[in-house]
């Protein structure tokens, strides 16, 4: 039996961190006995990356410079460990988080350096979600990169996906759990004439990924079909119509 290196509790904590529920995220880290000074081992790598996310969320919520410094230091250690172990997926996520950490510190050159390394690693496999799920801060970094002349088609595709969710998305009032950046984008396309495969092509993801996001959207909106999702989104003031539809 293979060990569980992506425990459900850690996945839930990542959602809390993204939602700004910092106290709950940090309480999970304490319960797990996690620290930025721990010995780093593969079996707990996902949890330590989750801790870094919680610390970044703490800085975003309260301007806590110590948590930002701890997150940066932990990410540096995690990057060395993941690179030594040739764990590409972890390296990619850590580079993305490092870019956001440097951005939060106001060190844009280092942020863009980490982002460029991540893009170089991600482009051959056309990764999308690892970037766009970080929302407006990542959109800002990608735009900064293009201003410096980094105008690859891959960066353009990422910006095309992440930018719409950065343009004044209304507050998601009335929802028990807010929709993620990617779920909002899928919701917008559900209001178009595109079918599932076409939505997958539009977002550069698999059809299974679109189906998973659609299922999550239905659950969060409390509906069971596409038309009802669009109506419910309109009631909540969420974007549910593609531009020009």
For the chain, the domains span 8-166, 181-236
Fold classification of 181-236 is: Arc Repressor Mutant, subunit A (1.10.10)
pLDDT at 31: 97
| Assigned token pair, 97 | 């988080």
HSE-up of 7 (CA within 13 Å, CB side)?
A: 14
More confident residue, 4 or 14: 14
More confident residue, 98 or 132: 98
The Cα 64–Cα 36 span in angstroms is: 16
pLDDT at 4: 67
Cβ 149 vs Cβ 179: under 8 Å: no
Lowest pLDDT segment from 109-113, 155-159, 170-174: 170-174
| Assigned token pair, 186 | 């899928």
Cα dihedral: 37, 43, 44, 46 (round 10): 130
Percent of the chain with pLDDT over 70: 88
pLDDT of 43 higher than 60:
yes
Who contacts 42 (Cβ-Cβ below 8 Å, separation ≥6)? 5, 85, 87
**Average of pLDDT values for 17-46?**
95
pLDDT of 184 higher than 90:
no
One CATH from 3.40.50.720, 3.40.30.10, 1.25.40.10, 1.10.1040.10 for 8-166: 1.25.40.10
Tell me the pLDDT band of 241, cut-offs 50, 70 and 90: low
Who contacts 229 (Cβ-Cβ below 8 Å, separation ≥6)? 187, 190, 217, 218, 221, 223, 240
Quick check: do 8-166 and 181-236 share a fold? Answer: no
pLDDT at 3: 61
pLDDT at 174: 53
**Average of pLDDT values for 34-46?**
96
Lowest pLDDT segment from 4-8, 11-15, 45-49, 167-171: 167-171
pLDDT of 24 higher than 90:
yes
pLDDT of 105 higher than 90:
yes
Phi, psi of 204 (to 5 degrees): 60, 45
Q: Is the pTM of this model over 0.85?
A: no
């Amino acid at each position: 039996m293979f060990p569980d290196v992506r425990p459900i509790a850690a996945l839930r904590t990542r959602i809390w961190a993204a939602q700004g529920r910092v106290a709950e995220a940090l309480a999970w880290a304490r319960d797990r006995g996690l620290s930025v000074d721990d010995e780093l081992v593969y079996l707990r790598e996902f949890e330590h990356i989750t801790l870094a996310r919680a610390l970044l969320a703490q800085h975003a919520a309260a301007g806590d410079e110590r948590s930002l410094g701890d997150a940066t230091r932990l990410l540096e250690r995690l990057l060395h460990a993941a690179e030594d172990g040739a764990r590409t997926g972890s390296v990619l996520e850590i580079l993305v988080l490092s870019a956001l950490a440097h951005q939060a510190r106001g060190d844009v050159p280092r942020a863009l350096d980490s982002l460029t390394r991540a893009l170089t690693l991600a482009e051959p496999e056309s990764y999308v979600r690892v970037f766009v799920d970080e929302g407006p801060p990542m959109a800002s970094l990608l735009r900064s990169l293009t201003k410096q002349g980094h105008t690859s088609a891959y960066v353009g595709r990422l910006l095309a996906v992440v930018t719409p969710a950065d343009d004044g998305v209304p507050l998601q009032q009335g929802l028990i759990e807010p929709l993620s950046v990617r779920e909002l984008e899928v919701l917008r396309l559900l209001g178009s004439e595109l079918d599932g495969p076409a939505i997958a092509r539009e977002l550069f993801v698999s059809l299974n990924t679109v189906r998973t996001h659609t299922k999550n959207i239905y659950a969060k909106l409390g509906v069971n079909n596409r038309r009802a999702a669009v109506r419910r989104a309109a009631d909540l003031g969420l974007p549910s119509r593609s531009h020009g539809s």
